[in-house]
Amino acid sequence: MAALSGLCGWAIEQEYIAGTNPTSDIKAVHENDRERVLSEEELVEIWLAAGDDEYGRIVKLLMLTGQRRQEIAGLEWAEIHVTEAKRQIELPGRRTKNKRPHIVPLSEPALALLGVLRDDPPKHVFGDYSAYWSWDWSSGKAALDKRIAERRGAPLEPWTIHD
C-alpha cells in the first residue's frame, strides 16, 4: 500500500496522472501482523529439537540473538568480531531491514554455536560458504515441527520462525 501510494504521489507530481492520489481513501490492512509470542517452555522444546545441523544452529542463533532469519542465515565471518574488548556481530546497513548498521552482542552459547573462528575463513558462516545459506525454510520448519511433535508427543500451537 505504501509503495503504491508513493508511486501515485510521484506520478501526480510528474503530471503523469491528474487529480488526487487514488490510494488516499484506502484503509491500510495489516493482515500479517503477528501476536504470537513463544513461551519459555516452547522455546526449550524448539531448542532441544533443533539439532546441530546448519538449520538447527541457525534456529538456535535466532533464539539467542533475536535477529531476523536472513541476517543470521546470511551471516558473514567478516561480520563477527571477537576480541578481549568485544564479542559481537556487526551487521552493515545493506543487510538489515531498516538499512542501518546494527551491533548484536554475542553470549557464550552463541559463540559456541558459531564455533572456532578461522584465520582464513570462507565468506559465509552457513551454506556452501561462497553464497549464503539458502535452505528451503518451509521444509526445514516442517522437519523441526515433526521432531518437536515426536519429542513431546504433540505438536506446538502453530508458530513461525519469526515468532
Cα radius of gyration rounded to whole Å, the chain: 21
Q: Cα dist. 10→7, 19, 24, 151 in Å?
A: 5, 12, 13, 55
pLDDT of 151: 92
Q: How far apart are CA 134 and CA 18, in angstroms?
A: 45
Q: Which residue has the cell 545493506?
A: 94
Please list the rounded mean pLDDT of every run of 10 residues in the chain (163 residues): 78 81 75 78 96 91 94 91 93 93 95 74 72 72 94 93 85
Q: Where would I find the H helices in 51-94?
A: 54-65, 69-73
Write out the three cell numbers for 141: 520448519
The residues spanned by each domain of the chain are 1-33, 36-152
pLDDT of 50: 95
pLDDT of 13: 78
pLDDT of 149: 96
pLDDT of 128: 63
DSSP state of 91: E
Q: Which fold has domain 36-152?
A: hpI Integrase; Chain A (1.10.443)
Q: How far apart are CA 134 and CA 86, in angstroms?
A: 29
